[in-house]
Amino acid sequence: MIFKNEASEILRKDPRKVTAGEAHDIYKIFYDKSRESPCF
Amino acid sequence: MKKLNPTVGGDKQFETLNDAFDAWYDAVWKRVRQGAKDGNFLYTVPLSAYSMLKAKRYIRNVLKELPDYKLFVPMQEKDIETVSFDISQKWGNEEIASDRYGAVRLNINFDDLCLFSCTDRAGVVLSWMRWKKEDPYEYEYLISYTPPKCYGIVGKLEYLAEKGVLPVGMMTDSLDRSYIAFHEKDRDIVTRVMSIPDEMIEDGTSVIKNAYDERALIKSIQKSIETSKSFVAVFVQSVMKRREEPDDSWLEIER
């Protein structure tokens, strides 16, 4: 699965080492998830 | 680089993702708490709609420490000519909004601006700006309906506009605080006007009559705005006069 293989890998990185592209991806996934999850 | 796509799975996968984000934003908050003020990691911070996920407590802390602007409405389009942004929207090429930290940047040096809080009347300020930019339908938002008269802030902005002092724009930050921005060179006159309590202006403003048609209603609203502006002028003049009259009480003590 994409999340397990890649997203979780990036999310475990040291924040100082995240690239602009990875930052964009993290934000985008979070943004989409927060909109499809009214239960939290 | 590889493109990531959000996965939509069952509750367990969602929980796992939720936990991963919780850990990520915890790490981001720790960096900010240690004094970091820039870095790519900050661009992962959402400015709104983050309350649905576990990480909200860390995100809220980051935004309290490093608030950012999520909306900027310039009075003149030229002020946003070189704005760079990615995930943001434009309405009529005049208003810019963003949900992502660091996405909106202005071509205006913040040192050249003075900001005045307008959180309570942000919608009225926005409508006034649109109205000044010749959107006649915005007039109804300049009016309080209990009692029916124009808001005090409208009289203040009209008075300043008559003096040639227009705001640079209005902005709202990630903590939902709104500000109206003026050029630093106008600070004195704007401070003088903005320090007048809105209630004092509204008390002296004429009530809008129930008009039988739209034209009559607009005329009545214009009259209310005019009286509001006049009241601001009277107040400002009285303050100026008081400043000009020397207080000679100390001279009597000397004698």
Report pLDDT digits (tens) over B57-106.
999 999 999 998 888 888 876 655 545 555 555 655 577 788 888 887 77
Q: What is the pTM of this model?
A: 0.78
What is the rounded distance in angstroms from the CA atom of residue B218 to the CA atom of residue B157? 18
In whole numbers, what is the pLDDT of chain B averaged over residues? Answer: 83
| Cβ–Cβ contact B16 with A under 8 A | yes
Cβ–Cβ contacts within 10 Å for residue B44, how many?
A: 29
- Write the pLDDT tens digit of every residue in A1-40: 345 556 778 888 899 999 888 888 888 888 877 776 654 4
**What residues contact residue B78 under an 8 Å CB cut-off, 6+ apart?**
none
User: Is residue A22 within 8 Å of residue B20, measured between CB atoms?
Assistant: no
Q: Which residue of A has its CA nearest to B1?
A: A21
Report chain B residues whose CB lies below 8 A from the CB of A5: none
DSSP output for B41-60: GGGG-BSSS-TTSTTHHHHH
| Cβ–Cβ contact B22 with A under 8 A | no
What is the rounded distance in angstroms from the CA atom of residue B180 to the CA atom of residue B123? 11
| Cβ–Cβ contact B167 with A under 8 A | no
Dihedral over alpha carbons B37, B41, B46, B51 (to 10 degrees): -100
What is the rounded distance in angstroms from the CA atom of residue B4 to the CA atom of residue A38? 23
Higher-confidence residue of B147 and B162: namely: B162
Tell which of A10, A16, A17, A33 to mutate to test the B interface (max B CBs under 10 Å).
Answer: A33
Q: Tokens for B244? A: 């000009």
| Cβ–Cβ contact B50 with A under 8 A | yes
